[in-house]
Structure 1
Amino acid sequence: MKIVIRVLLTIAIILLAYVSWRSIQGPIDFNTEVAKRDRAVIQRLVDIRTAQVALRTQTGSYTASFDTLTHFVKEGRIPTVVKVGDLTEDQLEAGMTEAKAMQIIRSGSEKAIKAAGLWDETKNGPQLVRDSIFSPVIDVLYSNRHNFIPDSLPFVPYGNGTKFEMGVDWLITAAGYPIQVFEAKTPYLVYLGDLNQKLLNQKIQEILDRPGNRYPGMQVGSLDVANNNAGNWE
């Protein structure tokens, strides 16, 4: 009988120790996994913002369509200016500006270029060269992302195929000017839903209890306020 009691006590002690360990380790494991997934989601939202800003620069408008955004990243081209040569201090002091110089050079008149002192005898050509070259969007915007896949833009990491919610709208600024805005977002439940439900609910409730209209998830941009396309993690 004593042996049975000892065994039961040993088991009880082990179980109690395990429960105590889990009560400490559980939140640590949860927060570690949340941080890992948050980083992946934030990076994807930054990639979306990068593409949207470039698209608006090119076309004058954001898009609410991931098909349009993905096609732009895969097939679009961005102009970049190649700059060769600079004006000398003497030329600048004499009142020459780069705009004036390029106007003369683009006239194509060698005589006018030489008369303005903008001919480089060493290279037998104009002193300044300003040309636009068009490079693939993906090479310009994501040159440091070796594993970047444009088709992944719409999808939430760890979201089991769920797409980000994305929209575009117009707001009126305090000065009375219209401004186009966009937002892309996903709730925590989409990419954290398979984790500890109690801890996840606590995380969500903490967000909802904060002052202001806080979004319980990750979001970049806003359809409600002009926030310069900031992310809610920034």
Structure 2
Amino acid sequence: MYTILTIIAAVLVVALLAYLIVNKIPKGVRPVISILLWVVIAFLGYSIYQAIMAPIEFNREKVKRYTKVIDNLKTIRDAELAHREVTGKFTDNQDALIKFIDTAKFAITETKNIVVQEQRGALTIDVEKRVVDTLGFRDVRADFAGRDYKNMFNVPGTNAKFDLQIGSVEKVQGVKASVFEAKVDKAIVLEGLDKDLIRQEKEALGGVEVRGEYISVGSLEDVKTGGNWPPKYDTAEEKSNNE
């Protein structure tokens, strides 16, 4: 809207000056006015250029910052999922989660069906049972090789940390599921950029944009572990990993 208004104002100002030069201003003064008109045109041209380029530069910088933030949120998500696999629950203790990656182990198991004989009264019958055997253990840290998990709670480019919370959601009556959410306000990530564009960004409804006021992963209201960013950020990660 600002860009459109700037262009309309520029056209009106130039048209008015041109009219005055042709119809109202004496010929002797016209050269001076013409120079002033060119100065005004140059200024308006620069203003229009800035109005057009500002959102483009904002989006370019936004994507650059968001990509780093989302990479950390993905690491937090994977750490929480690993923690739940080993302990059965999520955690909101950031230091403990980092220590967990350093020290915990996944159990390597094998599930198989075996047939055993059971006595049912006077009868002996074959019963098939599922047995889970533990074959060994694998370091959780191996799944985070090459990832800066020790700094995953730091919001890149800022002095802030992600807000991490856990809770429970009742999806089926009487059965509660553990949930978590890590998030950061977009305004923190975009600090230093145009405030009007930041305000518009926080009102984004989704689609090709990160939805809402925060960049987040997980949810305290639903059983989900995905983020609120669009697929292009995941595609960018896959492309980077393949290069």
What TM-score do you get using the length of structure 1 for normalisation? 0.68
CA distance in 1, matches of 2:32, 2:141: 70
Structure 2, unaligned runs of 5 or more: 1-28, 117-133, 231-243
Counterparts of residues 1-234 of structure 1 (less than 5 Å): 4-80=32-108, 98-100=112-114, 131-135=135-139, 137-139=140-142, 141-143=143-145, 146=146, 148-158=147-157, 160-207=158-205, 215-226=212-223, 228-233=224-229
- 1:200 alignment partner, SS class: helix
Distance 1:154 1:165 in 2: 8
1: CA distance between counterparts of 2:172 and 2:212?
24
How many angstroms does 1:202 deviate by? 1.5
Counterpart of 1:173 in 2: which secondary structure?
strand
State the alpha-carbon separation in 2 of the partners of residues 150 and 74 from structure 1: 10
Give 1 or 2: higher strand fraction. Answer: 2
Equivalent pairs, count? 183
Q: Percent identity?
A: 29
Q: Whole-Å Cα distance in 1 between the matches of residues 137 and 178 of structure 2? A: 28
Cα pair 1:74 1:150 within 8 Å, conserved:
no
**CA offset at residue 14 of structure 1?**
1.6
Counterpart CA distance in 1 for 2:56 and 2:92 is 38
Consecutive unaligned residues in structure 1, runs of 5 or more: 84-96, 104-129, 209-213
Contact 1:186–1:218 under 8 Å retained in 2: yes
Q: Give 1:36 shift.
A: 1.6
Q: Deviations over 1:40-95 (max 9, x none)?
A: 111111110100010111111111111111111233333345x8xxxxxxxxxxxx
Residues 202 and 212 in structure 2, CA contact (< 8 A), matched pair in contact too: no
Q: How big is each residue's C-alpha offset from its partner over 1:157-185, in whole Å with a ceiling of 9 and x where there is no partner?
A: 22x22011111112211343111111111
- Looking at structure 1, the residues matched to 108 and 37 of structure 2 have their Cα atoms a distance apart, in angstroms, of 75
1:25 maps to a residue whose letter is M
Q: Aligned letter for 1:180?
A: S
* C-alpha RMSD over aligned residues: 2.9
Corresponding residue SS for 2:84: helix
Kept in 2: contact 1:70–1:150 (CA 8 A): yes
Q: Which runs of 4+ in 1 moved over 2 A?
A: 1-11, 74-81, 97-101, 205-208
State whether residues 207 and 216 of structure 1, in contact with CA within 8 Å, keep that contact through their aligned partners in structure 2. no
Separation in structure 2 between the aligned mates of residue 156 and residue 193 of structure 1, nearest angstrom: 12
Q: Deviations over 1:114-159 (max 9, x none)?
A: xxxxxxxxxxxxxxxx832322x222x224xx3x22221111122x
Q: For the residues of structure 2 that align with 1:205 and 1:100, how far apart are their CA atoms?
A: 57
Look up the SS of the partner of 2:154 in the other structure. coil
Q: What amino acid does structure 2 have at the position aligned with 1:23?
A: A
Deviation at 1:3, TM superposition (A): 5.9
Shift in CA distance, 51/2, structure 1 to aligned 2, threshold 3 Å? same
Name the structure, 1 or 2, with higher relative contact order (CA <8 Å, separation 6+).
1
